[in-house]
Each structure stands twice: as C-alpha cells, then as structure tokens.
Copies of this chain bind each other. A is one copy, B any other.
C-alpha cells in the first residue's frame, strides 16, 4: 500500500537533498506518500489551495529534479505526480515502470513490480527509456462493477 513515513522522515528527505524544511514542502510530501496512487496537479492544487500555485509548481519541479517524485501524464494529458520508489537520483530517474490509468476513478497507479519486457525497435531507432501505459479498471473499480459493491 501507501508507503508510511512520518514527519521526521520527510524532514530528513528534504535535508538529504539540501532543501530547506518548509511547511508547504512537508505537506506535499505527506500527501503524496499517504497515497498509493499518483496525484494530479489539479488535485494537489485544490487540496493545497492555501499554498500559492506558483510555489506548488516550484515544489513539484524541485522534487522532480531531486529524484523524489516523477511526473506522469495520464490519458487526458493531465500531469500526475507520484513518489519515486526506485533508486532515483538528482536528474537521473529510473521510473520505467508501468502506469495504470483507471478509466473509472481516473487514478494513476505506478506498478513498479512489473518488469518491462525487452523490445527490439526498427533499425536506426536507439531507445533509451521505455514506459508502458495501461488503461482499464483498477482493482477497486472492477470489484464495484461486478459483485456486491465494495
């Protein structure tokens, strides 16, 4: 499920990345780590509506640069942010996992466990990174659809 971390750990994370411990940053970390799905920019903005929009963008950008979170666009092109589980470094991400976008609840899941099969591209193409998107029903929504509601 969601990675459980307390406020001290979030403060440590910021310190490790040479980022000042500020309330907005800690709140963003806390929110994103409390969920097992990515969080969309609109959601972040409405939940953190007392934080300035620009500040929020800058927090998300610096977290992404530092390898704390990664950005993924859902099927509608909306930016979603999820915590990095892999060994992501500053400006060097390793988030080549499958992203599952539920067509019902719109949530984006990072399925880190799945390993991506090797693919051979046509001659001349030199791929450096792959990501797979799947869309369909997530566990919660597929349960609702079939049996007695969850």
Contact = CB atoms under 8 A, between A and B. Distances in A.
Query: What 3 A-B pairs are tightest by C-beta distance, nearest first?
Result: A124-B139, A128-B136, A127-B136
A114 B127 CA distance: 14
A43 interface: no
Contacts of A100: 121, 125, 127
Contacts of A113: 122
Contacts of A126: 136-137, 142
Interface of A: 73, 77, 79, 98, 100, 103, 109, 111, 113-114, 117, 119, 121-140, 142-143
B125 A136 contact: yes
Which of A111, A113, A136, A143 has the most B CB atoms < 10 Å from its CB? A136
Contact of A134 (B117, B129, B134): B129
Contacts of A132: 119, 130-133
Contacts of A117: 117, 119
A77 to B, nearest CB: 5
Contacts of A73: 73, 77
